Amino acid sequence: MKSSNLGNFYKDFQIGETVKHSLTKTIFESDNNFFSLLTMNHHPVHLSLEHVKNHQHGKILVVGTLVFSLVVGMTVPDISGKAIANLEYESVKHVGPVFIGDTIRAETTVINKWETSKKDRGIVYVETRAFNQDDLEVLCFRRKVLIPKT
């Protein structure tokens, strides 16, 4: 059995390259309910069918931080699997709504990269975009990841 190749080294990241992540996730009601309970987010727009009948979408919205967490997780095999640290998340934008039953996919573009004062590592700056099953963008964020050179 061959061991998995989790993540990439600094040299593997090319500015301008876009990675289409192979992992996807259909979000189930149980995912949303558990995350709402775990994070103490009991807003009725995420949990109450009765409440959302009069809401603009008319159906339960998935908690935005759940979508963010799932998308970050989808990127780990390609982006941060070998990371020393995630240094910064910035510009997190919930571009569109996510509903129970939606299937999310993601892609990440390398914006920039630079070496640090420690010669064995560098910083990779990326933008990740997530889409639903209809290819509508639902989330976009940028982050800086500290990656070893070898």
Position 5 scores a pLDDT of 79
List the CATH number of the domain containing 23.
Answer: 3.10.129.10
Query: Does a structural domain hold residue 2?
Result: no
Query: Does a structural domain hold residue 144?
Result: yes
- Rounded percentage of the chain residues whose pLDDT exceeds 70: 97
Residue-wise pLDDT for 19-50, tens only, equals 999 999 999 999 999 999 999 999 999 999 99
Give the range of the structural domain holding residue 125, as residue numbers without chain letter. Answer: 10-148
Position 143 scores a pLDDT of 98
Average confidence (pLDDT) over 89-103: 97
Residues with Cβ within 8 Å of residue 78, at least 6 apart in sequence: 7, 8, 19, 21, 108
For 43-148, list the strands marked E by DSSP. 85-94, 103-115, 121-131, 137-148
Is the predicted pLDDT of residue 57 greater than 60, yes or no? yes
Query: Does a structural domain hold residue 25?
Result: yes
Residues with Cβ within 8 Å of residue 1, at least 6 apart in sequence: none
Average confidence (pLDDT) over 78-94: 96
Position 3 scores a pLDDT of 59
Give how many domains the chain has, as a whole number.
1
